[in-house]
Amino acid sequence: MIFPEPPAVRPDGAHVLDIDGTRFVSPWSTATRCWAALDDFKESLPSSITPFFISPSLEEVITTGVDLLEDRVPHIITENWVVPPRWFSLFTADERVRGEDADGPFSIARTSMSKARERAERSHEIVLGAFGQGLVEQEIENMLDWLELFHPQSLVELDYGGLAGYLDSALRAQDLDGINDDTSIEDVAHSLSGLSAGDGAIAGQGYERLVSRWRLVQAFESAI
C-alpha cells in the first residue's frame, strides 16, 4: 500500500523575487493551504457525502501536525474560479503586467505593502459608509488584518495563475482582445468611486462589469 505523506512533514518551498537589489521571499505554506482547502471542501458538501471523496484515513494524514502550525500566517491565499473583488482594490491599473508566455496567458499585479494597506483602509471606509457593517465590510477588514501581519516594506502580489487562460478564452469568445481587455482593477475602482460619491448607478456599473466577466470564468467549473 502507498501511504501519502502529511503536508506538515514534507519539505516546502517559496517564491523568490529579486527587485532592485532587495530579495522578497514568500513561503508556499503548503500545509496551511492544504488544511484550508480541506475545510473549504468539507463546508461545500453535506457531512454525509464528504467521506466518499476523502476517507477518514486520508483526512487524518492531511491534518497531521495542524496543531503545530495552526498559528502560522499564510503568505499565500487562494480562491477557486474567481478573484474576490476586494483583492482588486489593492492595486491600480498601472501596477498590472499581463500578456502571454510559454505557459500561456498571465496577469500579475504588484504593489508595495504601504500602498496596499492604504487602499484597503480606504475601501473599508467607503464600504462601511455605504452599507454599514456586514459581510462585505467584514471581508475587507479581514483582508486588512492579514496585510498588517507582514513587514511594512513587503510587496503584495495578485497572480491570476491558471485563471488567466480561462479568462482569456472567455473574453476572446466575446470578440475581445483576451486578457488584454480585462478591466477588473478599473471596474472595482469605478465602483468604489461611485460608492464614495453616493452614486449607486456608477457603483453598480463597475460591479456589474466585474461580476459579468468573472461569471464567464466560473462557468468553466461546471463544464469540466
Cβ proximity of 38 and 54 under 8 Å: yes
Dump pLDDT digits (tens) for 116-151. Answer: 999 999 999 999 999 999 999 999 999 999 999 999
What pLDDT was estimated at residue 1? 38
Q: Which contacts of 34-43 are long-range, i.e. CB under 8 A and separated by 24 or more positions? A: 34/7, 34/62, 35/7, 35/62, 35/63, 35/66, 35/70, 36/74, 37/78, 38/62, 38/63, 40/80
The percentage of the chain sitting over the pLDDT mark of 90, rounded to a whole number, equals 62
- AA identity, residue 94: D
Q: Give the pTM.
A: 0.79
Assign residue 118 a region (left: φ > 0; alpha: ψ between -120 and 50; beta: otherwise). alpha
Dump pLDDT digits (tens) for 34-68. Answer: 666 667 677 777 877 777 777 777 777 666 655 55
Q: How many CA atoms lie within 13 A of 28 on its CB side?
A: 11
